[in-house]
A and B are shown apart, each in its own frame.
Chain A
Amino acid sequence: DIVVTQSPGTLSVSPGERATLSCRASQNVSSNSAWYQQRPGQAPRLLIYGASARATGIPARFSGSGSGTEFTLTISSLQSEDFAVYYCQQYKNWPYTFGQGTKLEI
């Protein structure tokens, strides 16, 4: 299985600041990665697919980059609703696997 590792586990940032979340795959997955946001008590929501394409309705402050084994999710100016847990997923090979998540806290 491809192991997906996210860092840091928890990121403390102030509203209005920029947040950078990292994701590493144990094998080359090309651009076959996605990012999800999960707020407490809710299902995950697709943010980014294809490493850098924003899903429908996702604000422009969310951006993704990277390819191969290293990926980054950047939130340019944090809003209160952005404080949540973020998951990275690889879908190059099945079983599709997720990282353990990064909690973004105020």
Chain B
Amino acid sequence: QMQLRESGPGLVKPSETLPLTCTVSGGSINNHYWSWIRQPPGKGLEWIGYIFYNGNTKYNPSLKSRVSISVDTSRQQFSLNLTSVTAADTAVYYCARHFNIGHPYFDSWGQGTLTTVSS
């Protein structure tokens, strides 16, 4: 069964870069799209962006200038970097798998990792 696990620092200072990694197990990272989605405390879900296993990406325009997503297929990992963070970036960050190519809904999710932006 596909499993995803997010990892990251937990606490990031304002204006710095938030780095997160998602490790995929129980299946191949190849031939799938992978997304990052976040959820501020007590609020709804926001799609951040996706990456295909070949490195093609698409980002939410609201975050595009600050977001980059990369993939390392040899390690079965994909990563998120969010630059110039503020308190508004405090959220639970999820990684998720797209159901299939051309079907961008999310059938497997990580457990989420809370990242707090604070000095």
Query: A95 near B60 (CB under 8 angstroms)?
Result: yes
Query: A95 near B107 (CB under 8 angstroms)?
Result: no
Contacts of A18-60 to chain B: CB distance below 8 A? 34, 36, 42-46, 49, 55-56
Question: Number of B residues whose C-beta is below 8 Å from A?
Answer: 20
Interface of B (DSSP majority class): strand
Query: A49 near B110 (CB under 8 angstroms)?
Result: no
Query: A94 near B109 (CB under 8 angstroms)?
Result: no
Question: In chain B, what residue has the closest Cβ to A91?
Answer: B104
A98 at the interface (CB under 8 A from B): yes
User: What 0/1 readout, one digit per residue, does chain B (80-119) give for beta carbons within 8 Å of chain A?
Assistant: 0000000000000010000100011111011110000000
> Assuming A43-B109, A46-B107, A55-B107, is B99 touching A96 (CB within 8 A)?
no
> Assuming A97-B47, A100-B44, is B103 touching A49 (CB within 8 A)?
yes
Query: B106 near A44 (CB under 8 angstroms)?
Result: yes
Question: Number of A residues whose C-beta is below 8 Å from B?
Answer: 22
Query: A44 near B105 (CB under 8 angstroms)?
Result: no
Contacts of A84-106 to chain B: CB distance below 8 A? 87, 89, 91, 94-101
- Docked Cα-Cα span, A1 to B62, in Å, equals 10
Contacts of B27-47 to chain A: CB distance below 8 A? 43-47
Total A-B pairs, Cβ < 8 A = 51
- Docked Cα-Cα span, A94 to B111, in Å, equals 24
**CB of B40 to closest CB in A, whole Å:** 12
Query: A43 near B58 (CB under 8 angstroms)?
Result: no
Query: A45 near B109 (CB under 8 angstroms)?
Result: yes
Among A44, A55, A96, A98, find the residue whose CB has the most chain B CB atoms closer than 10 A.
Answer: A96
Residues of B within 8 A of A43 (CB): 94, 109-112
Query: A98 near B106 (CB under 8 angstroms)?
Result: no
B61 at the interface (CB under 8 A from A): yes
Query: B105 near A89 (CB under 8 angstroms)?
Result: yes
Residues of B within 8 A of A56 (CB): 107
- Docked Cα-Cα span, A91 to B58, in Å, equals 13
Contacts of B53-85 to chain A: CB distance below 8 A? 58, 60-62
Question: In chain A, what residue has the closest Cβ to B103?
Answer: A49
